[in-house]
Amino acid sequence: MSDIAINHHGPPLPRPRGTLSAAVIDRLAAGAALPADHQAVASGADPYGDDLHLALYICYELHYRGFAGVDPALEWDPDLLRVRRVLEERFLAVLREEATCHATVDDALAGLLVEPVHGSGVSHFLRDEGELWQLREYAAQRSLYHLKEADPHAWVLPRLWGRAKAGMAAVEFDEFGGGRAERVHAQLFADLMTDLGLDTTYGRYLDAAPAQTLATVNLMSLFGLHRALRGCLVGHFATVEITSSPGSRRLATAMRRTGAGQAAEFFYDEHVEADAVHEQVVRREVVAGLLEEEPHLEADVAFGVDATVHLDDRLAEHVLGAWRDGRTSLAGDGTIITGRSPAGHDPRRDRRVHSVDRCIP
């Protein structure tokens, strides 16, 4: 393998969190063969656990920017693809069993279209009383998606046509800055992170992300990388766009209240306006256009909505539960970011109790 083939620009490989992730990392770092029983281990792994989701995240990341020192050709390594498939099946099976709530798209979206009068989720908490250290933890976790914002959804474009394709392309064009590099939403989030004193390096906070966060990002990649799950991806995208505008408004208020900075405010202000429009396009053109062409995908679109809400609820429960107990919501002890807090906030100070959001924007 030549030096030219090595990826010098991706993030470093993360620390393993169990036998599965260790085997995947060893395969990428040293070319080690996967253990003979790796598929059996994968099929019995905790479908919500750290080990499964880190291993799956690493496999998926090979399709994005990869990892430093890893041969890009390993994106299509047969052994990794086989173990990835077992991990996907394990994850997807539990989601179909536990998350499926609705048979129709209208029923699945109905609850998302009504903003509760007295919300009590993460964005409500951050708006009303969250402290700067909590905003920084939230941003560090969200960076796993937002620094590649819209990339997972772009996988579905070649799998759509007609109204659905045109509507999806229009929304993605906005997500990618409308042709202006400085307005790409991933760049706007990097600017937000700078205001919060966070490291904007792609993948920097992978080791700090709990399994609940990894699962929400893995869901997008799972849906996006499988043509058979294109309806699920559209359901996920609709959920994100419908819930984004009101949630972003609350988070913009939180950034102003805590003095996070102009760029931090702007990221969410931009999503308040843009996603209010996107929500209409996604429902009327992408979802409706897809079901007009392929009505048999309705159950998949509804499942995409349900699975997204289910995993966001799990993440919200984890985040608020940790903060309620005076603990960091990050994996480990949270020192990866607490030492850089510009305001010197201590995550052990606040023990307020709050309930779970339906979705974290």
* CA pair distance 64, 58, nearest whole angstrom: 10
Q: What is the model's pLDDT at position 12?
A: 96
Q: Is 46 left (phi over 0), alpha (psi -120 to 50) or beta?
A: beta
Between 336 and 1, name the one with better pLDDT: 336
CA-based nearest residue to 23, from 10, 37, 9, 12: 37
Greatest Cα pair distance in the chain = 60
At 114, the pLDDT band (50, 70, 90 cuts) reads: confident
Please write the tens of the pLDDT for every residue from 162-206.
999 999 999 999 999 999 999 999 999 999 999 999 999 999 999
Q: What is the model's pLDDT at position 350?
A: 35
Q: What is the model's pLDDT at position 226?
A: 98
Tokens of 193: 């992170």
Q: What is the model's pLDDT at position 335?
A: 80
Mean pLDDT across 303-329 = 95
Tokens of 205: 């906070």
**DSSP letter at 74?**
G
CA-based nearest residue to 57, from 98, 99, 13: 13
The full set of domains in the chain, from first to last, is 3-97 (no CATH), 103-338 (1.20.910.10)
8 A C-beta contact, residue 25 and residue 62 = no
Mean pLDDT across 78-106 = 97
Mean pLDDT across 107-132 = 85
Residue 7 C-beta-side C-alpha neighbours within 13 Å:
22
8 A C-beta contact, residue 299 and residue 103 = yes
Q: What is the model's pLDDT at position 357?
A: 41
* CA pair distance 16, 7, nearest whole angstrom: 20
Q: Is residue 353 pLDDT above 60, yes or no?
A: no
* CA pair distance 285, 293, nearest whole angstrom: 11
At 339, the pLDDT band (50, 70, 90 cuts) reads: very low
Global pTM value: 0.91
User: How far apart, in Å, are the Cα atoms of 144 and each of 41, 51, 58, 266, 327?
Assistant: 26, 17, 12, 19, 21
Measured in residues, the chain has a length of 361
* CA pair distance 81, 355, nearest whole angstrom: 39
Q: What is the model's pLDDT at position 221?
A: 98
Q: Is residue 359 pLDDT above 90, yes or no?
A: no
User: How far apart, in Å, are the Cα atoms of 19 and each of 22, 38, 200, 216?
Assistant: 5, 9, 29, 22
Q: Is 6 left (phi over 0), alpha (psi -120 to 50) or beta?
A: beta
Q: Which residues contact 132 (CB under 8 A, 6 or more apart)?
A: 196, 258, 259, 260, 341, 342, 343, 345
Taken in order 347, 349, 351, 357, the sign of the CA dihedral is negative
At 8, the pLDDT band (50, 70, 90 cuts) reads: low
User: How far apart, in Å, are the Cα atoms of 284 and each of 163, 210, 278, 279?
Assistant: 9, 35, 10, 9
Q: What is the mean pLDDT of the chain?
A: 89
Mean pLDDT across 113-127 = 79
Tokens of 228: 């058979």
Mean pLDDT across 288-307 = 98
Mean pLDDT across 213-234 = 98
Q: What is the model's pLDDT at position 7?
A: 57
Number of other CB atoms surrounding residue 156 within 10 Å: 27
At 4, the pLDDT band (50, 70, 90 cuts) reads: very low
8 A C-beta contact, residue 25 and residue 85 = no
